[in-house]
Amino acid sequence: MIRIGIAGCGFMGRTCYAILAERPGVRIVALLDSEPARRLGDWSQQIGNLPSRWPENAGGKGIRAMASIDEMVSADDIDLVVITLPTYLHAPAAVAALEHGKHVLCEKPMALTADDCLRVCAAAAESPGLYMTGQCIRFWPQYVEIKRRVESGEYGPIRSVVLRRIASPPGYSQDNWLMDHRLSGGALIDLHVHDVDFAHVLMGPPRAITASGTTGPSGGVDHVCALWDYGDGLIVSLEGGWSYHAGFPFEMFVNVRCERATLQWRMSDGPAVKMFADAAEPQELAVKDSNGWAEEIAYFLECVRRGRQPELCMPESSALSIRLAELERESIQCGRRVNCDA
């Protein structure tokens, strides 16, 4: 039995709770939140598209309410801390949990800055506990299928990649912390980092980055268009942002053109990945009926049970995503191409 404490009862905290509550072999022991009602399981306030309240009130299921991360990481009956706090709290919470020997699953982004990521990496290297950042796109069935087929070599080498993730400003965070780039990193770190992460996992880090971006509602970089230079004619384009007007639907899009076929998925087109290979109609590739959050949780729980490092998502790899996003911001600020020394 893996005993779990969830630190943060916002959108991702509730998402993780719903998934974990259905998993065999785990027990949610405690909830942590700065709001007393939320840590007691009163989730009547609507957040995004989540239900306003789970079928059973969390506070009525013998789950302890906690007010501080120190209390949670010091608890002897907690094996795994799931960190779903605001981004600026990720690094200190993860370091504290690792120093107490806990396993840690931390919601992305790993931390607010690359320097903070290095602190987490150092703590993870010294801790008996396992650490993983919840880079859900690495586990999202459509992205997993595209990566699997590309790596099989059946379509030849990659010729171009387009990744896009766009939305209207999220208005559901407690005290609107997402709309303060000093706390969230803005769309560059909170939203666009998904595609930054997938790009380097698929192809490795680029040799240089050229990016343009605009300041948005968070006061930070809330829309970015970046070109990653790999040489050899490979074209890689990433766009992300949440500066669109209210009501604009969230959209994620991936297109990977290889020598002999193009693989594409657009969230609004349905669950199947499309494969274009000079036929009259694209072939639809079926994928697993799941989502990246459920898959990443299942994977990390299995790592904990087996006592093995999460090789699909090691700490240094998640830290690289933040470093590459920071290089995009550097390119935006200086108005020129920057070399990648990551």
Instruction: Verify that 92 and 184 share a domain, yes or no.
Output: no
Q: What local confidence, expressed as pLDDT, does residue 51 receive?
A: 55
Q: For residue 52, what is the enclosing H or E element?
A: none
pLDDT digits (tens, 9 = 90+) for 212-227: 999 999 999 999 999 9
Cβ within 8 Å of residue 31, ≥6 positions away: 5, 6, 9, 13, 17, 38, 39, 40, 41, 58, 59, 63, 64, 65, 66
Instruction: Verify that 80 and 204 share a domain, yes or no.
Output: no
Q: What local confidence, expressed as pLDDT, does residue 54 receive?
A: 52
pLDDT digits (tens, 9 = 90+) for 305-317: 999 999 999 999 9
Q: What local confidence, expressed as pLDDT, does residue 150 receive?
A: 97
What average pLDDT score do residues 127-137 get? 98
Instruction: Verify that 102 and 8 share a domain, yes or no.
Output: yes
Inside any domain, residue 183: yes
pLDDT digits (tens, 9 = 90+) for 67-123: 999 999 999 999 999 999 999 999 999 999 999 999 999 999 999 999 999 999 999
Instruction: Verify that 282 and 203 share a domain, yes or no.
Output: yes
Instruction: Verify that 152 and 274 share a domain, yes or no.
Output: yes
pLDDT at 45 over 80: no
DSSP 341: -
Q: What local confidence, expressed as pLDDT, does residue 105 receive?
A: 98
Q: How many structural domains comprise the chain?
A: 2
pLDDT at 56 over 90: no
The stretches of 111-235 forming alpha helices (DSSP H) are 114-126, 141-152, 181-184, 186-190, 193-203
Domain that holds residue 63: 2-134+294-311
Inside any domain, residue 316: no
Instruction: Verify that 301 and 263 share a domain, yes or no.
Output: no
Indicate the pTM of the whole model. 0.94
Name the band, by pLDDT with cuts 50, 70 and 90, for residue 47.
confident
The CATH number of residue 126's host domain is 3.40.50.720
pLDDT digits (tens, 9 = 90+) for 226-252: 999 999 889 899 999 999 999 999 999
Instruction: Verify that 31 and 64 share a domain, yes or no.
Output: yes
Instruction: Verify that 243 and 171 share a domain, yes or no.
Output: yes
Instruction: Verify that 146 and 251 share a domain, yes or no.
Output: yes
Inside any domain, residue 254: yes
The CATH number of residue 256's host domain is 3.30.360.10
- DSSP assignment of 57-80 equals -GGGTTPEEES-HHHHHH-TT--E
Inside any domain, residue 317: no
Instruction: Verify that 231 and 100 share a domain, yes or no.
Output: no
